Structure 1
Amino acid sequence: MALHTWLAFLLACWVISLSPGAGAIASMSAGLRHGFWHGYWNAIGLQLGLALQIAIVAAGVGALLATSQLAFAVIKWFGVLYLVYLAIRQWKAAPMDFSNAPAPGGGASASSLVFRGFLVSSSNPKAVVFMLAVLPQFINPSEPLLAQYLIIGATMVTVDLIVMAGYTGLAAKVLRLLRTPRQQRLTNRIFSGLFMGAAALLATVRQAIS
C-alpha cells in the first residue's frame, strides 16, 4: 500500500471512529460504570467485532450481506434488539455504593465486557456494507490483497482503540463526580436513552440493493 493511500485511509479512520455511534455509547457506559481500566475491556470487544467485519469484507462475504435482504435483516434486527436490551439493563442498573468501593471495576467480568463490546460491534450490518463500499477504494488489486487488508485492519483497530480509550476515560472521569444515587440514576437513564436512540437509528437503516 502506497504511503499517500495509507495516509488518506488513516484520516478516514479518524473521521469514522470519532463519529458517535453505538460503540462510543457502549464505551462511555462501560467507563462510567466500571472505571477506565476495567471498562476498557469493552473496547477490546469492539475491536474483535471490527476485525470480524473486516475479515468478512476481505473474504467476499460482505458482498452477500450487501445483496441478501434476509441476511441483512437478520443481523440488523439482532443488533436492534441487543441495543434495546442494553438500554433496559442500563435503565434498571442500581446506583453504586462508593463508601465501600474506593475504586470502580466490579459488577461485570472482563470477559462479559469483551463479549458485550463484540456483540455491539459485530451486529451492525451497516458497518459491513459501509466498509464494503469504502475499503475497495484504498485497495490496489495488482498488489497482494492479504497484506493490504492486514494493514487496513491494523490501522482501523489502532485508531478505534485510541478513540474508545478517550470515550471510556472521559466517562470514567465523570464517574468521580457522581456520588449520589439520584445523580447515578439520572445518568443511567440518559445512557439508556442513548442506547434506545442508537437502536432506533439502526432500525431505520435500509438496504441499498442495485
Structure 2
Amino acid sequence: MVDPVLLLAFIPAGLALNLTPGADMMFCLGQGLRAGPRAALAASAGISLGSFVHTGLAGLGLGALVAAVPLAFEVIRWIGVAYLLWLAVQTLRHSTNPGAAPAVPRRAFRAGLMVNLTNPKVILFVLAFVPQFVSPEAGPVLPQFLIFGALLALGGFVINGAVGVFASGAGKRLARGSRLLDYISASVFAALAARLAILERT
C-alpha cells in the first residue's frame, strides 16, 4: 500500500511535471491541429498507456536494465526517431493526396502509444522520479509503482488531451484539412524526431 504522506506529496509534483511542455504535449498538439479533438484525445490516451507501461516496467526492474545497457537505449531511441519521421512523411503525403484516409482515433491512439514507448527519456524520467515516492516499508514496490504510474497517466491524459483539443479549435479557424495544417503537423513530428536524435543519455 502507498504511504498516504508520500501520495499527497506525489500528486502536486506529478501534476507539475504533466504541465511541463514536452514531446508528449507537442505530439497531442500536432494531432489536434491536423485531425481534430477526437484524435487528440486518442493520442493522449495512447501516450498515457505508454507512460503507465514504462512505470510498470520500472517496478519490475526492466526499466533500470534498459537504462543501464547503452545498446538497448540507442535501439529504442532510433526506433522512435524513425517512427516520428515516418509520421511526418505520411502527413506530407496526405497534404499532396487530399483523398487519402484521414487520421482516425484508433490510429492516433496507436501513434501516441508508439511515440511514448520509443522515447527512452521517459524511462530515465520514471527511474529518477517515481522511486523517490516508493517506500519498501509500505509493502511490495510493484503495486506502488503502478499506483503512481496510474496517477501520472491520468494527469497526462487530461492535460495533454486539453492541449490537443485547444489546438483543434485553432485548426478549425485555420480551415480544417488545409495543406498548411499538414505542413505544421509534419514540422512538429520532424522537430520531435530531431529532438530525440540529439538526446543525451544523462
Taking the TM superposition and a 5 Å limit, the aligned residue runs for 1:125-164 are 125-144=120-139, 145-164=141-160
Provide the residue aligned with 1:16 in structure 2.
17
Which one-letter code corresponds to 2:142 in the other structure? L
Which one-letter code corresponds to 1:198 in the other structure? L
Task: Give me the whole-angstrom Cα distance separating, in 1, the residues matched to 2:55 and 2:11.
Answer: 15
Unpaired stretches in structure 1, ≥5 consecutive residues: 98-105
Provide the residue aligned with 2:3 in structure 1.
2
Q: 8 Å contact 1:33–1:39 — kept in the other structure?
A: no
Q: 1:95 to 1:25 in 2, by over 3 A?
A: farther
Deviates more, 1:108-117 or 1:87-96: 87-96
Provide the residue aligned with 1:165 in structure 2.
161
Q: 1:108 to 1:179 in 2, by over 3 A?
A: closer
Q: 1:87 to 1:20 in 2, by over 3 A?
A: farther
Structure 1 length-normalised TM: 0.84
Q: 8 Å contact 1:17–1:160 — kept in the other structure?
A: yes
Computed over aligned residues only, the root mean square deviation of the Cα atoms, in angstroms, reads 2.2
How many residue pairs get aligned? The number is 198
Task: Give me the whole-angstrom Cα distance separating, in 2, the residues matched to 1:11 and 1:174.
Answer: 29
Q: 8 Å contact 1:25–1:191 — kept in the other structure?
A: no
Structure 2 length-normalised TM: 0.87
Is structure 2 residue 107 aligned with structure 1 residue 112?
A: yes
Q: 8 Å contact 1:139–1:148 — kept in the other structure?
A: yes
Is structure 2 residue 31 aligned with structure 1 residue 30?
A: yes
Unpaired stretches in structure 2, ≥5 consecutive residues: none
Per the TM alignment, residue 177 of structure 1 is displaced from its structure 2 partner at its CA by 0.6
Q: 8 Å contact 2:31–2:185 — kept in the other structure?
A: no
Identity of aligned residues (%): 31
Which one-letter code corresponds to 1:152 in the other structure? F
Per the TM alignment, residue 28 of structure 1 is displaced from its structure 2 partner at its CA by 1.6
Per the TM alignment, residue 38 of structure 1 is displaced from its structure 2 partner at its CA by 4.1
Which one-letter code corresponds to 1:148 in the other structure? Q
